[in-house]
Structure 1
Amino acid sequence: MARMITDVIFDFCGVLFDWQCRACLEKAGYPAELVDHICADGDPCGFYAYEDRMDAGEDFADILPDVRREQGDEIAEVFRYYIEHYGDSLPRMLPGMEDLLRDLKAAGLGVWGLTNWSHETFHIAFEKYPQVEELLAGTVVSGVEKMHKPNADIYELTLNRFGLKAERCVFFDDTAKNIDGANAVGLHGRRFTTAEQARADLAALGVAL
């Protein structure tokens, strides 16, 4: 089995990075009540839905008028601030993930990225955490490709672009539907919780680090 797994593919937000809209808005000094409302379960202000549209390839400039019309001027201006200060929503790499990437590379495995992320803000991840760009052999970004997890096409594009075989790849994502999409094209999809659990999942597939 150790010989069967040759490559590991990682989602970004919630796997490599601690992504928090709240962190960005709190740093800006918005009232706690407003931040709580925006970040509440159910996405009452649509921030995550609008960002999902950006992740699928739409431009911020085309989405902002919809935010203003649907949510009002105040929320639209907060959303503008959030996108313009996106780096503040990435306060840290998740514990143990840089070490895991380094250990995988040292063991001779290919290490790749596959993320749902806007083409307009993705550069911030590598600017803020250049070690991630250094450690990954390549990354597919949904907003650049105008494809979106969990649809099969973006997994297939990743495999074809990097010359990977699905049955020899492990894919980590924190979202269940994205794991289902990966499994559907033959990847070994695993739900990410912590770096320690990822190491355990890899060990169960025969990857000794």
Structure 2
Amino acid sequence: MINTIIFDLGAVLIDWNPHYMYRTIFDDEQEMLDFLKNITTSDWNEEQDAGRSLAEGTAALIKEHPEHEKNIRAFYDRWDEMLGEAFYGTVEIFKELKESGRYKIYALTNWSAETFPKAIAKFDFLSWFDGIVVSGTEKMRKPSPQFYNILLNRYNVNPAEALFIDDNYRNILAAENLGITCVHFTSPEQLKEDLKSKNLI
């Protein structure tokens, strides 16, 4: 029986997208996409999510691509401009789950410890969680099994009694390998249907 819900945050409850900021820098959409794909890559950003400091990550990338220094520095200097709004459909589902009183609800997020306080300041619903585990603070990230186990052990969660929601299928597979029931998030509407089908709402 499911008694614990674990949410991912980015692309599930919170809209974060570098395009918002970099569209103010690049006039050419394809040039921007190439920069994000080849310079400020997801793999590079995930190193900061895993605990590397923003200053260290920025310096390392500038050393590798000195011709892009200005645009690389903008990634974290103007990070706030990448932080969009909440996905309110998902927030409503979260609220319904919370108000039911049936579940402990946690967040497990890949996020830099240095930028996460900005999300805390912006989104009141983050205070609804019974606990939040942030990769940058723990210096490890999804899909590492050890990262999931931090949450399971810290909050005494039985994986067989937990449901995990994430938009990244890589992270879903890792959770399933630990015996956690999962929902691969694609939209609030799909999430609601999946939760209904499992008799969780």
Does the 8 A contact of 2:21 with 2:81 survive in 1? Answer: yes
Structure 2 length-normalised TM: 0.92
Shift of 1:41: 9.2
* Contact kept? 1:170, 1:188, Cα under 8 Å: yes
Aligned to 2:79: 86
Gaps of 5+ in 1: none
The one-letter amino acid of 1:102's match is K
Q: Which residue, out of 143, 148, 153, partners 2:146?
A: 153
CA contact (8 A) 2:164 2:183 kept: yes
Deviations 1:135-190 (A, max 9, x none): 11110001110111011101111111112111111111111110000101111121
Q: Give 1:204 deviation, angstroms.
A: 2.0
Q: Distance in 2 between matches of 1:147 and 1:135?
A: 24
Q: CA deviation at 1:42?
A: 7.8
How far apart, in 2, do the equivalents of 1:80 and 1:188 lie? 40
Match of 1:138 in 2: 131
The 1:141–1:7 alpha-carbon spacing in structure 2 relative to 1, beyond 3 Å, is same
Contact kept? 2:40, 2:72, Cα under 8 Å: no
Closer, same or farther in 2 for the Cα pair 1:90/1:189, shift >3 Å?
same
Contact 1:37 1:44 in 2 (8 A): no
Q: Give the 3 Å change call, closer, same or farther, for CA 17–40 of structure 1 in structure 2.
A: farther
Structure 2 residue ranges without an equivalent (≥5): none
CA distance in 2, matches of 1:90, 1:63: 19
Task: Tell me how large the CA RMSD over aligned residues is.
Answer: 1.7
Q: Secondary structure at the match of 1:164?
A: coil
Q: 1:36/1:123 Cα in 2 relative to 1: closer, same or farther (>3 Å)?
A: farther
Q: How far 1:32 moved relative to its partner?
A: 2.2
The offset of 1:17, in angstroms, is 1.0
Do structure 1's residue 25 and structure 2's residue 22 form an aligned pair? yes
Aligned partner (choices 63, 68, 76) of residue 62 of structure 2: 68
Letter in 2 for 1:13: G
Identity of aligned residues (%): 28
Aligned amino acid, residue 55 of structure 1: D
Tell whether the 8 Å contact from 1:174 to 1:192 is kept in structure 2 after alignment: yes
Count of paired positions: 200
TM-score (norm. length: structure 1):
0.89
The whole-number CA distance in structure 1 between the counterparts of 2:125 and 2:70 is 31
Give the Cα separation in 2 of the matches to 1:76 and 1:38.
15
**Residues of 2 paired with 1:61 and 1:77: CA distance?**
14
Aligned to 1:56: 50
SS at 2:92's partner residue? helix
Q: Distance in 2 between matches of 1:98 and 1:202?
A: 14
Q: Which amino acid aligns with 2:192?
A: R
Q: Is the 8 Å Cα contact of residues 24 and 88 (structure 1) preserved in structure 2? A: yes
Q: 1:6 aligns to what?
A: 3
Counterparts of 1:76-115 in structure 2, within 5 Å, are: 76-108=69-101, 109-115=103-109
Of 40, 44, 57, 2:38 maps to 44
Paired amino acid for 1:167? A
SS at the partner of 2:149? helix
